[in-house]
Chains A and B, each alone.
Chain A
């Protein structure tokens, strides 16, 4: 292993290269581009071979090329974000349905309109039911580790795996990572032996139509495989620890949850900021902890229930919004807690790159400790802007484009730091 200070995208690219992918499909979309660019350089230089690097014409094609490559027995990888993930959705579902263990990085970014290049989890969350395994990284170290685990997990189950890492916040952050050696990765990740493969010597038909007589069974098996993943993910994390001597992956990660009255549930890089806040509040005597969910699909109902059931209240802080109801993660957390008298609050935070600051979290969690949080809270919501816009809509029919109006009300943003 070697310690290095590098960009998250670079770290992920090097980890992916250590997994010996045979086909990589690339289509540019921020904030994922640095990953495939770095992989492209490695293919060009011969550092990564044999590997085919395909520049495709769309994300839909990227996933489709990965589907063809994986069905032909090649280890296939691609990366995307935001609109790119949405553009490939039909193929995303198809890859899962066909049982092809493609690994894809999603550099989490908001979905427009209004167009927004910054981080939140709306993109991955939109695909929570597509049949892929979804793992969320807290740090760049974990992002690179999860990719190594993703290939093994996916190939063992014949399921595709999405490694979700916060766009910009992780992908563009320089931080310390411990880069494994090729020997370590080879010891952890065996060569890809597909369950089904397009082989002229043993022809099979893949992707046949299935009618009502068996479709339920096929879908059930997809679910059953994800349930198997619930068993496999902790096992693989333990094996990973043996070879790489660090904890990465797993289903959930509790932090200072023992004796905690309030437990915050969150995914991804915001866990770091929350941990800092938890430490500070603990120092003041607050009994508070945080539970990181690494595996969002499959959702570890039992592990989440175990980690939370002794608490007095749960705050789910999520970077996505199910418009019309509220939280997405919190719905799943509530299901994990069903039957327990444990109030669960939803906090929508960090949408479209809105910084989640320690100051805001302190205020929020103190309110939570006092049981003053509403069922659904939008962190740092600017109520005045909203009132002004609603008034505008009330006053005139042709009130104009929403985004432009709001921005005009906000004023100059270039002069702001955060």
Chain B
């Protein structure tokens, strides 16, 4: 079972992000379970949502406490909430920012972790560019597809179409594609650097 935890703020589409992730996984033949942390849904308040992906029925109903992957929609949470709590040592981390882990002041997180599983992507900017609103969730799923390979970009696009329609869906898919490409490029660069070293 693969467990994902998404952190963000109310209004950023944290819950829809987890739901779309579960749809994408389902479309690829997996069992998936997405659920919110059921906290306050006020705009701006810290929100957590979860997604589990497995090849058999998921019965477990506890919150995801040892995630295999973290998607952080809002980097301002990094120093407010224990977002990295319980993260598996070989876990994936995708942060919505144009800055690096070091620049965010969380360089120590990378210590002892697999560098190719840690990535940042300016998802809000990509969303602003393609959707017209800084809603980063779909773009982050595109980035997550590239980072983890747990889902593919086509499934992300199909999941976006289940949640949105028309122009909004098109824009979100474009943002997801751009994020996918961005993350893939970044990972290739990182692989180069690693090889060169």
Residues of A at under 8 Å CB distance from B?
4-5, 7, 31, 117-119, 139, 168-169, 172-176, 269-273, 275-276, 353, 355-358, 414-418
Stretch at the interface among B34-42, B174-182, B186-194: B34-42
**A174 CB contact (under 8 Å) in B5, B27, B32, B62:** B32
B residues 37-65 near A (Cβ < 8 Å) are 37-39, 45-46, 48, 58-65
Residues from chain A with Cβ under 8 Å of B46 in the complex: 414-415
Given contacts A174-B32, A415-B81, contact A7 B19 (CB under 8 A): yes
Contact call B82/A5, Cβ cutoff below 8 A? no
Judge if B85 is at the interface, Cβ distance under 8 Å.
Answer: yes
Q: Considering only CB atoms, which chain B residue lies closest to A361 in the complex? A: B62
Given contacts A175-B22, A273-B59, A273-B61, contact A353 B32 (CB under 8 A): no
Contact call B63/A417, Cβ cutoff below 8 A? yes
Contact call B38/A353, Cβ cutoff below 8 A? yes
22 A-B pairs within 8 Å (CB atoms) are namely A4-B26, A5-B32, A7-B19, A117-B38, A118-B38, A168-B36, A173-B34, A173-B35, A174-B18, A272-B58, A272-B59, A272-B60, A272-B61, A275-B59, A276-B59, A355-B62, A356-B62, A357-B63, A414-B46, A416-B82, A417-B48, A417-B86
Once the chains are docked, how many angstroms separate the CA of A362 from the CA of B5?
Answer: 23
Contact call B35/A172, Cβ cutoff below 8 A? yes
Contact call A269/B61, Cβ cutoff below 8 A? yes
Q: Identify which of A168, A173, A272, A356 gathers the most chain B CB atoms within 10 Å of its CB.
A: A173
Judge if B195 is at the interface, Cβ distance under 8 Å.
Answer: no
Judge if B111 is at the interface, Cβ distance under 8 Å.
Answer: no
Interface class of chain A by DSSP: loop
Once the chains are docked, how many angstroms separate the CA of A169 from the CA of B46?
Answer: 19
Further 17 A-B residue pairs, CB within 8 A, beyond A5-B23, A272-B59: A5-B27, A31-B38, A168-B35, A168-B38, A173-B33, A173-B35, A174-B23, A272-B61, A273-B60, A275-B59, A357-B63, A414-B46, A414-B81, A417-B65, A417-B85, A418-B62, A418-B63
Residues from chain A with Cβ under 8 Å of B39 in the complex: 414
Given contacts A414-B45, A414-B46, A417-B82, contact A172 B62 (CB under 8 A): no
Contact call A415/B38, Cβ cutoff below 8 A? no
| In the complex, number of A-B residue pairs with CB atoms less than 8 Å apart | 88
Residues from chain A with Cβ under 8 Å of B19 in the complex: 7, 174
Residues from chain B with Cβ under 8 Å of A270 in the complex: 61
Residues of B at under 8 Å CB distance from A?
5, 15, 18-19, 22-23, 26-27, 31-39, 45-46, 48, 58-65, 80-82, 85-86
Q: Considering only CB atoms, which chain A residue lies closest to B21 in the complex? A: A174
Contact call A5/B38, Cβ cutoff below 8 A? no
Once the chains are docked, how many angstroms separate the CA of A269 from the CA of B35?
Answer: 13
Once the chains are docked, how many angstroms separate the CA of A414 from the CA of B37?
Answer: 11
B114, chain A: closest CB distance, angstroms: 22
Contact call A358/B36, Cβ cutoff below 8 A? no
Contact call B82/A273, Cβ cutoff below 8 A? no
Residues from chain B with Cβ under 8 Å of A355 in the complex: 62-63
Once the chains are docked, how many angstroms separate the CA of A176 from the CA of B31?
Answer: 7
B27, chain A: closest CB distance, angstroms: 8
Contact call B38/A175, Cβ cutoff below 8 A? no
Residues from chain A with Cβ under 8 Å of B34 in the complex: 173-175
Contact call B32/A175, Cβ cutoff below 8 A? yes
A319, chain B: closest CB distance, angstroms: 12
Once the chains are docked, how many angstroms separate the CA of A119 from the CA of B38?
Answer: 10
Residues from chain B with Cβ under 8 Å of A119 in the complex: 38
Once the chains are docked, how many angstroms separate the CA of A168 from the CA of B49?
Answer: 12
B101, chain A: closest CB distance, angstroms: 20
Residues from chain A with Cβ under 8 Å of B61 in the complex: 169, 269-270, 272-273, 356
Q: Considering only CB atoms, which chain B residue lies closest to A358 in the complex? A: B62
Given contacts A269-B61, A357-B62, A358-B62, contact A417 B32 (CB under 8 A): no
Residues from chain A with Cβ under 8 Å of B86 in the complex: 417
A176, chain B: closest CB distance, angstroms: 6
**B26 CB contact (under 8 Å) in A5, A269, A417:** A5
Q: Considering only CB atoms, which chain B residue lies closest to A360 in the complex? A: B62
B152, chain A: closest CB distance, angstroms: 16
Q: Considering only CB atoms, which chain B residue lies closest to A272 in the complex? A: B59
Contact call B81/A175, Cβ cutoff below 8 A? no
Residues from chain B with Cβ under 8 Å of A358 in the complex: 60, 62
Residues from chain B with Cβ under 8 Å of A357 in the complex: 62-63, 65
B177, chain A: closest CB distance, angstroms: 22
Q: Identify which of A174, A275, A355 gathers the most chain B CB atoms within 10 Å of its CB.
A: A174
A-B residue pairs, 9 tightest by C-beta: A272-B59, A5-B26, A418-B63, A174-B34, A168-B38, A173-B35, A357-B62, A174-B22, A174-B19
